Amino acid sequence: MSATTPLTPLTPLTRTIEEAKRWTKKWRTKHPKISKAFRIPADDLVACLNEMGVKFSTDSNGKIQIVPEKYEPSVRAYLAIDDQDGEKLLIVGTTTENGTLYKDIVKDEKKLTADGDPSPNGSGVYDFTVPCPNDCDPGSPLFKD
């Protein structure tokens, strides 16, 4: 899919392997001493989507799909460093009223839901803590030069 194809819940933006290899190599060259990637546990990602109220269905092949809504459900990723100087990828769900401005769903922020709790299951910040290195796939074409 090209970058000009409109995004919908059923047509996510993907990139070619050539673009991905070029872009990841550029990152590794520019930032040789920091994380190359993060392994994201699917359970954490699903929990974040559940917190956002994303609805799912199953197609005829048994694959999970997002039920289309007015606006595309999105998450936002933050790069962070923990108290032991470990690199982290923090992900939060987002909400929007207009499809343009997406606001983070985090506890203690502006009230975003009818009951006034934008994050009923916790802080709303998911800690995807498995960086590469040390948890890498050295055989991946996105890891090699």
Residue 26, CB-side half-sphere exposure with 13 Å CA sphere: 6
pLDDT, one tens digit per residue, over 2-24 is 444 554 545 566 778 898 899 89
Place of tokens 């998450």: 75
**What is the C-alpha separation between 110 and 68, in angstroms, rounded?**
26
How much is the pTM?
0.69
Per cent of the chain over pLDDT 70 is 77
24, 34, 37, 106 from 31: Cα distances, Å: 10, 6, 12, 30
- One-character DSSP codes across 16-70: -HHHHHHHHHHHHHH-TTS-SEEE--HHHHHHHHHHHT--EEE-TTS-EEEPP-S
Binned at pLDDT 50, 70 and 90, residue 1 comes out as very low
Tokens of 73: 């459900």
**What is the C-alpha separation between 39 and 137, in angstroms, rounded?**
10
Q: Is the pLDDT of residue 30 over 90?
A: yes
Torsion, CA 99, CA 78, CA 32, CA 131, rounded to 10: -110
Q: Is the pLDDT of residue 111 over 60?
A: no
